[in-house]
Structure 1
Amino acid sequence: MKKIVTGGTIVTATETYQADVLIEDGKISKIGKELMDTEAEIIDATGQYVFPGGIDPHTHLDMPFNNTVTDDDWKTGTIAAAFGGTTTILDFCLTAGEVKLIDAVEKWHEKAKNKAVIDYGFHLMIGDLNENTLAELPQVLQQEGISSIKVFLAYAKEFQATDRTLYQAFKVGKEMGAVVMVHCENGSVIDELVEEAKALGHTEPIYHALTRPPQLEGEATKRAIELAHLADAELYVVHVTCKEAVDEIISARKKGYKVYGETCPPYLVLDQTALAKPNFEGAKYVWSPPLRPKEHQQVLWNALKAKQLQTIGSDQCSFNFNGKKRLGIDDFSKIPNGGPFIEDRFSILYSEGVAKGKITINEFVDMISTNAAKIFGLFPQKGTIAVGSDADIVLFDPNKERVISADTHHMNVDYSAFEGLTVKGEPVSVLSRGEFVVKDKEFVGEFGRGQYIKRKVKKGEFKEAVTN
């Protein structure tokens, strides 16, 4: 059925204006004043912003980790994302023991099948590149429409790659036109610091942060930058948390290196003191890299405003406090790493950024949607409101205030990392390819309607639109 969104204010990364939007066959077919079509359903957006659907470039749904599995799967995770204004996610397909890379990709397709309520794509994680996987990787990227490779420099026992593997990944990325995403922490030194802390009897959650200092994020960021430059490849630094890493990214970009940076909502509003909460409550805030001292928050906001960091990922990786986080009650290193963020990414960036004057509303759209679409090969199908683009639309009430709470969120976890935080602005209705997933704050979507999106790979083209 055709739809006309009328009465709202359209906001893209470059424009803010009042107009109607005609939706046909899942696409935006016309934008203009006082559009008329007797066959169309009229959607009244008076007093609301009409945003392009959010693109979350960093999620972990139904992911095995730390001897357990995340509590949000592709049903609960994508429902929560939709309530939060996100219409496309890019999830990390992990390779762990598979003989062939394609086996890991097929495993992730099965996880999402008949569950996802919004569109999605995969990043392909690489832990080791032997002769066989190195030969297979380009074929898998092309066949599956995957334009991004993930490499960990942390988690020495689970995922950490060698510098040689990282450099090999950069060479494949250069050849295929794929961006290489890197978790930048020095996992080997972290393991040494963890053992030192435990030997001294330190078991509390705060030592998760104290054994992963900012210097080790800065060092790994520098190392990844230089190896990427050596291969003339594109580097995307995930979940940047601290001045040490930001400084390395800014320095590299000033030299013309092909580097992007992402940060996440918790690093913008929470700080390291949360891990020191009594009665093991600090375990709720254990994720990696860890929360930093409060002074790092302004560094991140400044870098976003200056476009030295380009995107906001949720790094959704949820574990229940009761039952799973408590696995580490006697040993901080056994606390499952990760937190529940997918539902609040959109609102926190708007409330803390736009409503408080730190960023403009157009910069908000850039960070929450457009830049990720450009970097990962989704633009202009996704990431903007334009004729021919998918009708992924968020109707957003900028005046609505709500208090974030586990009692009202849609994630399948028993706590909220942002419990009690008041945010201004709320998604009211969310459309994915022209169909309501959330309508007047009620879920009306269909399980399995979310489509896997094959992304475009452009060889040799650094996305200059994202760099200025």
Structure 2
Amino acid sequence: MGIVLNGGTIVTAADVYQADVRIESERIVAIGYEIKQPGDQVISVDGCFLFPGGIDPHTHFDLPVGEISTSDNFSSGTKAALLGGTTTILDFATQFKGETLKQGLDNWHAKADGKCFVDYGFHMAITDWNDQVAREMREMIQREGVTSFKLYMAYKNVLQVDDGALLQALRQAGECGALVCVHCENGDVIADLVQNARAQGKTAPKYHPLTRPAEAEEEATSRVITLARLAEAPLYVVHLTCSGALQAVIDAKLKGLEIYAETCPQYLLLDDSVYSAEGFNGAKYVISPPLRPIYHQEVLWSGLKTGVIDTVATDHCAFNYKGQKDLGLNDFSKIPSGAPGVETRMGLLYTYGVMAGKLTINEFVALTSTNAAKLFGLFPRKGTIAPGSDADIVVWDPRVSSVVTAKTLHQAVDYTPYEGFEQVGQAIRVFIRGKQVVQDGKLGVENPTGNYLFRKPFLRRKGGENV
């Protein structure tokens, strides 16, 4: 017995068309008309779009930061993701100083196993590079299905690695079929600017963006692109925020380099004016990289439209305003850096991208699902609506409108940076591998049903071969 979604409009990265979808045994088995089989359940989705389940390739659930951890764990975070139309997340399993990659990965499996309401995979964040870690990269790919690795150019003395480690990691990844993701900010420059600001008694939240200027991101982005060229390796730039960094990516792509870029809704919709909010409210927007002056927004939208920016993720890294963010009440550098967004990503991009005429509906699907599936070894199992693909389907009703407010969201955090934003459309039904897990916009299951995703090696597109 299967399920037939009747009367909807299917949207992929390439097509928009009306047809029915038949689901059986976790997969899409047929698309067309008159495909109902005896005993099938027929669900009417008239007037709705059918999107492939959203893929958020950048989340931080249950991440320890000093003596605290992010407010969303894998249970609350993936539940919120699901209700927003995201059916797959890629989180960052982190190897801390002194650990092997396997130890770091095992720690994250323990956090996530049996707790995820969506399917999930891991990038491996490397903070302690050495010869053993280099050897482990190949084992992560072949034995664990982890085919992407992250390194930080920021957070000096905590997460930051030097250029030598970056070059070696890029070279090793290029040789063994992996994609390296990099946080691009010049950590040495930022550390100096922060120290100087504190010495002058400049401790309010408004000094956060002033000590992490766009120039620090632009320089780091250009530098890591140079390293990727020297290593003859592909590169994925995470959470790109500004015109200078985007220009570095454009220049690299024009030279034929295999460079990919990600941005986030916060950089498309918010700007640095929020840091001057009354009292301590600017702390809600302390994220890294910080929000930029408003003129960068149109540059980023243009990057999405032209395909220079490949994905829209969230960098969901939530901390409560009361009890966590206020640890930096007297020192902006001690405010935990990060903000929530996993539940609102698809709604915001649909509203302010598609409905505003800045993106086509096909580009929306590519940016929220298909491109991430292709880059991170999940396509065509994920990221599209096609026979043989997992039946991860979002039934999106464009006739529903709402206003974003923390009171009605399901993220385990006491605020949203998008408070008061209008939203057009809602994920009224969501299916994961053929099981309906959201109905009438509400969670329809009590227990997590997400599976760990063993991902394929990275597919080089501009020369080079996977090993």
Verify same fold: TM over 0.5: yes
Q: Aligned partners of 1:429, 1:459: CA distance in 2, in Å? A: 33
Question: Residue 37 of structure 1 aligns to a residue in which SS?
Answer: coil
TM-score by length of 2: 0.98
Pair 1:434 & 2:421 matched: no
Pair 1:271 & 2:271 matched: yes
Pair 1:339 & 2:350 matched: no
1:36-115 alignment runs, 5 A limit: 36-115=36-115
Instruction: Name the structure 2 match of 1:365.
Output: 365
Q: Aligned partners of 2:165, 2:437: CA distance in 1, in Å? A: 41
Contact 2:98 2:128 in 1 (8 A): no
Question: Residue 391 of structure 1 aligns to a residue in which SS?
Answer: coil
Pair 1:188 & 2:188 matched: yes
Q: Aligned partners of 1:214, 1:447: CA distance in 2, in Å? A: 43
Question: Residue 92 of structure 2 aligns to a residue in which SS?
Answer: strand
Contact 1:66 1:337 in 2 (8 A): no
Question: Residue 424 of structure 1 aligns to a residue in which SS?
Answer: strand
Instruction: Name the structure 2 match of 1:229.
Output: 229
Instruction: Name the structure 2 match of 1:164.
Output: 164
> Matched residues, percent identical?
49
Q: Deviations over 1:152-195 (max 9, x none)?
A: 00111310011111111101111111110000000111010001
Greater mean alpha carbon deviation, residues 454-463 or residues 349-358: 454-463
What's the C-alpha RMSD, in Å, of the aligned pairs?
1.3
Q: CA deviation at 1:128?
A: 2.3
Instruction: Name the structure 1 match of 2:179.
Output: 179
Q: Aligned partners of 2:76, 2:45: CA distance in 1, in Å? A: 27
Contact 1:59 1:315 in 2 (8 A): yes
Q: Aligned partners of 1:340, 1:79: CA distance in 2, in Å? A: 13
Q: Aligned partners of 2:416, 2:236: CA distance in 1, in Å? A: 28
Q: CA deviation at 1:208?
A: 0.7
- Cα distance change on mapping 1:412 and 1:462 into 2, 3 Å: farther
Contact 1:60 1:315 in 2 (8 A): yes
Q: CA deviation at 1:32?
A: 0.4
Q: Aligned partners of 1:83, 1:336: CA distance in 2, in Å? A: 26
Q: Aligned partners of 1:306, 1:148: CA distance in 2, in Å? A: 25
Pair 1:148 & 2:163 matched: no
Instruction: Name the structure 1 match of 2:121.
Output: 121
- Cα distance change on mapping 1:463 and 1:451 into 2, 3 Å: farther
Contact 1:374 1:463 in 2 (8 A): no
Contact 1:271 1:291 in 2 (8 A): yes
Q: Aligned partners of 2:115, 2:339: CA distance in 1, in Å? A: 21
Instruction: Name the structure 1 match of 2:35.
Output: 35
Question: Residue 423 of structure 1 aligns to a residue in which SS?
Answer: strand
Aligned length: 464
Instruction: Name the structure 2 match of 1:209.
Output: 209
Contact 1:313 1:345 in 2 (8 A): yes
Q: CA deviation at 1:38?
A: 2.5
Contact 2:2 2:41 in 1 (8 A): yes
Q: CA deviation at 1:101?
A: 1.1
Question: Residue 399 of structure 1 aligns to a residue in which SS?
Answer: strand
Q: CA deviation at 1:461?
A: 3.8
Letter in 1 for 2:296: H
Q: Deviations over 1:187-229 (max 9, x none)?
A: 1110100011111111111111010000000000001101011
Q: Aligned partners of 2:462, 2:419: CA distance in 1, in Å? A: 39
1:6-17 alignment runs, 5 A limit: 6-17=6-17
Instruction: Name the structure 1 match of 2:3.
Output: 3
Q: CA deviation at 1:98?
A: 4.4
Question: Residue 430 of structure 2 aligns to a residue in which SS?
Answer: strand
TM-score by length of 1: 0.97
Q: CA deviation at 1:458?
A: 4.3
Q: CA deviation at 1:23?
A: 0.3
Q: Aligned partners of 1:283, 1:30: CA distance in 2, in Å? A: 50
Letter in 1 for 2:250: I
Instruction: Name the structure 1 match of 2:262.
Output: 262
Q: Which runs of 4+ in 1 moved over 6 A?
A: none
Letter in 1 for 2:287: W
Question: Residue 229 of structure 1 aligns to a residue in which SS?
Answer: helix
Q: CA deviation at 1:44?
A: 1.1
Q: Deviations over 1:216-249 (max 9, x none)?
A: 0000000110101111111000000000100100
- Cα distance change on mapping 1:117 and 1:98 into 2, 3 Å: farther
Pair 1:297 & 2:292 matched: no
Question: Residue 407 of structure 1 aligns to a residue in which SS?
Answer: helix
Pair 1:356 & 2:350 matched: no
Is there any run of 5+ residues in structure 1 with no aligned partner, and where? none
Question: Residue 34 of structure 2 aligns to a residue in which SS?
Answer: coil
Q: Aligned partners of 1:458, 1:346: CA distance in 2, in Å? A: 25
Question: Residue 408 of structure 2 aligns to a residue in which SS?
Answer: coil
Question: Residue 35 of structure 1 aligns to a residue in which SS?
Answer: coil
Is there any run of 5+ residues in structure 2 with no aligned partner, and where? none
Q: Deviations over 1:315-363 (max 9, x none)?
A: 0000000000000000000000000100011011110000000010001
Q: CA deviation at 1:68?
A: 1.4
Contact 1:431 1:437 in 2 (8 A): yes
Q: Aligned partners of 1:463, 1:34: CA distance in 2, in Å? A: 44
Instruction: Name the structure 2 match of 1:220.
Output: 220
Q: CA deviation at 1:34?
A: 3.0
Letter in 1 for 2:71: D
Q: Deviations over 1:248-292 (max 9, x none)?
A: 000100000110000000000000011110110000000000000
